[in-house]
Structure 1
Amino acid sequence: MQDLGIRVLFDGENGVRLLLGLIVTLKLSVITIIASCLLGTLMGLLMTLRNPIIHTITRVYLEFIRIMPQLVLLFVTYFGLTRAVGINLSGFTAAVIVFILWGTAEMGDLVRGAFISIPKNQFESGTALGFSKLQLYRFIILPQALRQIIPPAMNLATRMIMTTSLVVLIGVVEMLKTGQQIIEANRYTAPSAALWIYGTIFFLYFLSCWPLTILAQHLEKKWEK
C-alpha cells in the first residue's frame, strides 16, 4: 500500500508541535480581538461625534488601514520600523500591533454604523422619559446597537484568526510555520506529507473559527424572537 504520509503526523512530536503552533495562533488572535473590540468601540463612539477634526482623523485612519494590505503593514512594522526608529520588535509583537490597528479600524466602523442606524426618536423618547444620558445608552441605545454589532463582529473575529497565517512571513513560529517545518523535514522520506499536514492545519483553523460562527447564528436567532 502506498504511504500517504499520514504517519508523519504521529512521528515523534509532530502532532504536539502543531498543537503548540495552534496555541501561538490562538494567543495572537485572542489578544488582538479583545484589544480591537475595546479600542474599536471607543473609536466608533468618537466617529459618531460631530467634530470635524475628530471625524477627519478617524476617517483617514480607517481608509488608510482598509487600503493598505495587512501583509504590507506587517513588513513595514517589522522590518521598516525596526530600522528607521531602532526599535527591536519581535515578530509576535509586530503582529499584535498590526492586527490591533486593523481590528480597531474595522470594529470602529461597525460600532459607528450600528449607532447611527438607531432612529433619532429612540434618543428623543428616552430623554422625554427622564433618562439620564448614561441610562439612555445603557437601557435603550446599547441593547439595540449590540444586536447589530455582534454578528459582523464575530465575522471580523474569524477573519482575524484566519489572517494570522500571514505572520509566517515575518518569522513567527505559529501553526502554519510549524507545518511547513514538518513538511520540509520529511520531504524526502514522506513526499506526500504536505496533504496531511495542511489538511490538519485546515481542520484546526476550522475548529478555531466554527464556535464563533455558531455563536453568531445563535444570537441572531435569539434576537429575532
Structure 2
Amino acid sequence: MTEAISTAFSVLFMGTNFLRLLSGLWVTIWISAVSVIFSIFLGTLLGIAMTWKNPLIKAVTKIYLEVMRIMPQLVLLFIAYYGLTRSFGISLSGEAASILVFTLWGTAEMGDLVRGTITTLPEHQYESGRALGLTERQIFLYVIAPQAIGRLVPLCMNLITRMVKTTSLIVFVGVIEVVKIGQQIIDANRMTIPTASIAVYAVIFFMYFLVCEVLSILAKYIEKRQKI
C-alpha cells in the first residue's frame, strides 16, 4: 500500500508535471481574481439599486437575481461559450466566457449580500443622521456604508471562496487550468502508473485548500482590524 502511494506521488516529479500544475493553478487564480473584482464593483452598485423603492428597478433586479441563482453555473458557461458563438457569431475564448459567467453570477450574489446588509441596519441609524441635519447621501456615506462594509467582509470572503472553488467547472469549456492539467497528467501515465490519480487529485485538493485558507486568514485579519 505504501509503495503504491509512493509510486503514485512520483508522477508529480516527472518532467515538469508539478510546474504545470502550478501554472494551471495560476490560471484558476487569475480568472477568479478578475471575476471577483468585477463582481464586487458591479454587485455593490446592484445591491444599492436593489434598496431603491422604484418598482421597475425592484422587478428587474429581482428577476436577474433569481435567474442567476436558479441557473447552474455549468449551464451558463455552455450558453456563453457555445450558445453565443453559434447563435450570434460572437467569438469568445474559454477564459473570456468564464470571466463573463462568473462575473454575472458573482454580481448577483454580491448584490444580494449588499442589499441584505443595508436593509438590516436599524432604522434609528437613518433617523439619527437626519436629526443631525445630514443629507440622505451623507447618511449613506458616513453612517450606513462603514457599518455595511464591516458586516460584508466575512460574507464577501465566503462568496469569493465559493467562486474560487466553482472555477473548476471551466475545464468543460476548454480552459487549461489546474484540473485540466491534472487530467492530462493522469491520462499520460495511465498505463505506467495507474494510481497517479490519487497523487494528482490530492495535490489539486491541497492547492484549492491553500488558496481558500489564505482567503479565510485574510478575512479574519480584516475583521480584527475593523474591531480595533
TM-score of the two chains, using structure 2 as the length reference: 0.94
Aligned with residue 64 of structure 2, among 61, 66, 69:
61
The unaligned stretches of length 5 or more in structure 2 are none
Give me the whole-angstrom Cα distance separating, in 1, the residues matched to 2:93 and 2:37. Answer: 20
The CA distance in 2 between the partners of 1:20 and 1:81, in whole Å, is: 28
Residues 129-167 of structure 1: CA deviation (Å, up to 9, x unaligned): 122344322321111111221111100000000000000
What residue in structure 2 maps to residue 32 of structure 1?
35
1:89 alignment partner in structure 2: 92
- The aligned runs of 1:128-207 (5 Å cut-off) are 128-207=131-210
Structure 1: which 5+ runs fail to align?
none
Measured after TM superposition, the shift of residue 221 of structure 1 is: 5.0
Q: Is residue 122 from structure 1 mapped to residue 125 from structure 2 by the alignment?
A: yes
AA matched with 1:211: V
TM-score, scaled relative to structure 1:
0.95
d(CA) in 2 for partners of 1:80 and 1:222?
46
Query: Aligned to 1:176, what secondary structure does the other structure show?
Result: helix
Give, in angstroms, the shift of residue 224 of structure 1. 6.0
Q: AA paired with 1:54?
A: I
Secondary structure in structure 2 of the residue aligned to 1:5? helix
Give the C-alpha shift of residue 7 in structure 1: 1.1
Cα deviation digits, residues 170-204 of structure 1 (max 9, x gap): 11000000000011001111111110000000000
Name which of 4, 29, 34 aligns with 2:7.
Answer: 4
Count residues with an aligned counterpart. Answer: 225
Structure 2: distance between partners of 1:212 and 1:76 = 30
Q: One-letter code of the match for 1:144?
A: Q
- How far apart in 2 are the matches of 1:205 and 1:196? 14
**Partner AA of 1:48 in structure 2:** T
1:219 deviates by 4.0
Structure-2 residue corresponding to 1:210? 213
Residue 220 (structure 1) shift? 4.2
Q: 1:98 aligns with which of 98, 101, 105?
A: 101
Q: Which whole-Å CA distance do the structure 2 matches of 1:28 and 1:223 have between them?
A: 29
Give the residue type in structure 2 aligned to 1:193: A
Q: Percent identity?
A: 53
CA RMSD of the aligned region, Å?
1.4
117-126 or 182-191: which moved more? 117-126
1:218: how far off? 3.7
User: Aligned equivalents of 1:175 and 1:188: distance in 2?
Assistant: 22
